[in-house]
Amino acid sequence: MVAGLLLPLTTVFADSADWTIAIGKDSSPYETIASLQQDSLTTIKDEYAKQDLRPQLEFRCTAGEMAITARIDWQRFISSFSTELGFKVDGGRFTWLKWKVDQSNKVTFSPSAADSQKLIELALGGEKLLVEVTPYSASPVTVEYDLEGFSGALAELKDRCSQ
């Protein structure tokens, strides 16, 4: 479920203009997915330092299930194996979680719904989320997400997950 590409059927905007809920089909395996997404506020360079990219943070579930998993599409090479990501809300300390990397080597994802729940709990009530990762053989990159409206958007996602 986590590693596939989301093929949107419809898009519904959540409470905040920065958070989007998409309902679609996952490419592998082919099942209905509800997804809460936001592009980063800040950009990073691609692996050739030519393009600016806005990695997308996504929380998703399979329709009819309440288990939510998290992933980030970095849109550039990150690693060919699991890697650690640092998550920091507002002025707090980094919380480091070991995430898997999909076959494209560009998408990191939480290994379980329980691990994703740690990120959700960290983000609830915050204003900004910083995410840091160190691409293999490169310098660390950090992106920022706006958490305004996250609580309401997450409630909407949970509602969609239960359908």
- Write the pLDDT tens digit of every residue in 94-105: 999 999 999 999
Compute the distance between CA of residue 137 and CA of residue 42 in angstroms, rounded to an integer. 22
123 or 161: which leads in pLDDT: 123
18 dihedral zone (left: phi>0; alpha: psi -120 to 50; beta): alpha
HSE value, Cβ hemisphere, 13 Å, CA-based, for 29: 3
Q: Report the length, in residues, of the chain.
A: 163
For the entire predicted model, the pTM comes to 0.87
Q: Do 160 and 63 contact (CB within 8 A), yes or no?
A: yes
5: pLDDT strictly greater than 80? no
* Mean pLDDT for the chain overall: 87
Q: Which of 79, 6, 77 is nearest to 36 (CA)?
A: 6
What was the pLDDT predicted at 28?
62
What was the pLDDT predicted at 144?
97
Q: Which residues pair with 71 in a beta bridge?
A: 58, 109
Q: Do 27 and 7 contact (CB within 8 A), yes or no?
A: yes
